[in-house]
Structure 1
């Protein structure tokens, strides 16, 4: 059996000096990555608990001279974050639901039903990923301001964000690649038992696809939660705006520490979502085969 080639040979790891160098480099690298990801969050949390004057001073203080944890409660009440948090939850939840409702059947059809010109349709969808997002703003805005055929104006409603999010080419491609790996024998057995395409998708394909559905769900929710340009264009009524648009709108007139506290509070739900579903996310990202 051929030995696996590694950067550090087993002989070097068996020596005391080799182990010392190896673990020192590994720990320093891990520490650098942890600091790179956690320090900005630490800076935001501690910045929110500083006074406005201390937060603006130069050079900045690493640790607040005086702690003001009440800033978070003040930001919540003065900015009315609860109301805009609900707006954002409605927007993100609807975008997630409509993406799964459209993308999963589309990917299943392209993968397992194999319609005529399916590859052409997939190629045309993937070609939209090559277009810059700014090039799609005007035609998409005109579409939601007067939906073709029905002529409905969706501006200042969550549907103005849900409709463009419905057909996501990237999600369809990722789902199709996963569905391609599901053995056709499973679907053929369901067909022999009398199950139609919809029942087969619901009872066979979806339970197997939980990891990739979790990944697509996280992508959909996070994208809708943090999006700024499109909600800014279509949600012009302040009462319908999301958190990202709200914080930009009030930034010029809001004390800096309150604004930072608002930013921290709006980021907490997405952090909680990741911590709760990190196992599913990692399982979906590493899903490469279906075991029989």
Structure 2
């Protein structure tokens, strides 16, 4: 270990038996607590859906179902017609993801590499929206989708009402720009010498090098759109157009509790699977700091 490296625990302390015991004890306790904080709610929901309504509502709760009812999942899927609302959610999340990449990647590339006049001012105004409460932006954004400027179109009950506002995500543009800033300008100059224009350079040079951060932005976009509740509730009043998050809240009062919990579990499974499949890309993208070569 380098002498200049600073850590929370001195190497000399870790070399002692007492120091190692305290260190690993604290580490084990922290690991167990954090794991429990994430796993226990998932376990409680997954097993709660397999209980009867009376057992699920009883106090004190049971840790394991007295009688297992795994058929509650199939019953909830069939009786609540969840396939339709899963499809609605996939359409909204997939469209929001695609629109965000189409808008945010060129915007971040322009701010980072094309360096337009007043680019820093534009970026500052974008970041200013992150300091504002989300509820403060609801009314102006809602008025915009009710009467889109220049086009005079009403987007209510259209997926576009979810897709287009999602593109205005200052956080994604900021992290994309930061990553693009670390791409050596020499690579872009070489592409320019070979006759590539700005768009071709972005497509052929910048995007292949940006796969880790594009994966992070994609996953953040999909997760945000998938679990969003308030905005789809406002712009999609037609029940046939609503995603899972809005539908499950709308039918909560008239649905048996175990069926509702089963629906919530099934609505969460795609996001859990997405993280498990792409966790390596997420960590690589969040830790991407520089390019070698």
What CA deviation, in whole Å up to 9, does each residue of 1:257-288 have, x standing for no partner? 00000000000000011011111100010011
The 3-state SS of whatever aligns with 1:91 is helix
* Residues in 1 aligned to 2:75 and 2:163: alpha-carbon distance in whole angstroms: 32
What residue number does 2:229 align with?
Answer: 228
* Residues in 1 aligned to 2:12 and 2:150: alpha-carbon distance in whole angstroms: 72
What residue number does 2:186 align with?
Answer: 185
What residue number does 1:129 align with?
Answer: 130
The 3-state SS of whatever aligns with 1:291 is coil
Residues 1:115 and 2:136 aligned together: no
Two-structure CA RMSD over aligned residues (Å): 1.3
Q: State the shift of 1:5 in Å.
A: 4.2
What residue number does 2:84 align with?
Answer: 83
Q: State the shift of 1:20 in Å.
A: 3.2
Q: State the shift of 1:23 in Å.
A: 2.3
- Call closer, same or farther: CA 1:193–1:5 in 2, change over 3 Å: closer
The 3-state SS of whatever aligns with 1:63 is coil
- Call closer, same or farther: CA 1:17–1:79 in 2, change over 3 Å: same
* Residues in 1 aligned to 2:187 and 2:197: alpha-carbon distance in whole angstroms: 13
Residues 1:151 and 2:149 aligned together: no
Structure 1 residues not aligned, in runs of 5+:
none
Q: State the shift of 1:11 in Å.
A: 4.2
What CA deviation, in whole Å up to 9, does each residue of 1:217-270 have, x standing for no partner? 111101000000000001000000000000000000000000000000000000
Structure 2 residues not aligned, in runs of 5+:
none
Instruction: Please give the TM-score of this superposition, normalised by the length of structure 2.
Output: 0.96
What residue number does 1:54 align with?
Answer: 55
The 3-state SS of whatever aligns with 1:84 is helix
What CA deviation, in whole Å up to 9, does each residue of 1:114-162 have, x standing for no partner? 1111111111111111221111111211111121221111111111101
